[in-house]
């Protein structure tokens, strides 16, 4: 999705991947398309990499998350998709008015309530998968 975004005018894309084979594929595609200067690749566990990006003061207008379908976070009753939404909702990595897209198996779509900064704006089925779109709203404190 990051390479598709660059092909449509995005200035940059950051990829987070833990799997070595998937990383090689991403790197090969980036080289083939000659977009190395526009891409950052982070190898490691997703939440650790999100914390690193946040520490670096990074923000993103669009975050696309495609975690392993129906996979629980170790030590948590939640699936990765639910934990990702919760984490992004509670941190400043997604810019105000930014969009979070999260893909999950259709039968396992996250059912989120009590989000602090995100609002579900769209959900659509794509075969066996579902793509949910959240928008981060600005929180003004008086």
For position 9, what pLDDT does the model report?
95
The 3-class secondary structure across the chain, one letter per residue, is CHHHHHHCCCCCEEEEECCHHHHHHHHHHHHHHCCHHHEEEEECCHHHHHHHHHHCCCCEEEEEECCCCCCECCCCCCEHHHHHHHHHHHCCCEEEEEEEEEEEEHHHCCCCCCCCCEEEEEEEEECCEEEEEEEECCCCCC
Note the pLDDT tens digit of each residue in 76-110. 888 889 999 999 999 999 999 999 999 998 887 77
Note the pLDDT tens digit of each residue in 6-16. 999 999 999 99
Lowest-confidence segment of 6-20, 26-40, 57-71, 107-121 by average pLDDT: 107-121
Note the pLDDT tens digit of each residue in 18-28. 999 999 999 99
For position 105, what pLDDT does the model report?
86
pLDDT band at 142 (very low <50, low <70, confident <90, very high): very low
Structural domains of the chain, with CATH:
1-44 (no CATH), 63-142 (3.40.50.150)
pLDDT band at 138 (very low <50, low <70, confident <90, very high): confident
Share of the chain above pLDDT 90, in %: 77
């Amino acid at each position: 999705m990051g390479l598709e975004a660059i092909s449509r005018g995005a200035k940059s894309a950051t990829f987070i991947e833990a799997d070595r084979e998937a990383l090689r594929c991403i790197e090969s595609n980036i080289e083939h398309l000659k977009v190395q200067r526009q891409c950052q690749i982070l190898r490691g566990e997703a939440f650790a990499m999100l914390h690193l990006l946040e520490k670096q003061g990074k923000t993103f207008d669009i975050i696309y998350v495609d975690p392993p379908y129906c996979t629980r976070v170790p030590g948590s009753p939640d699936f990765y998709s639910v934990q990702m939404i919760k984490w992004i909702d509670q941190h400043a990595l997604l810019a105000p008015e930014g969009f979070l897209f999260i893909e999950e198996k259709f039968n396992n779509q996250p059912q989120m309530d009590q989000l602090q900064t995100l609002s579900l704006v769209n959900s659509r089925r794509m075969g066996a998968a579902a793509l949910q779109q959240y928008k981060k709203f600005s929180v003004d404190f008086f």
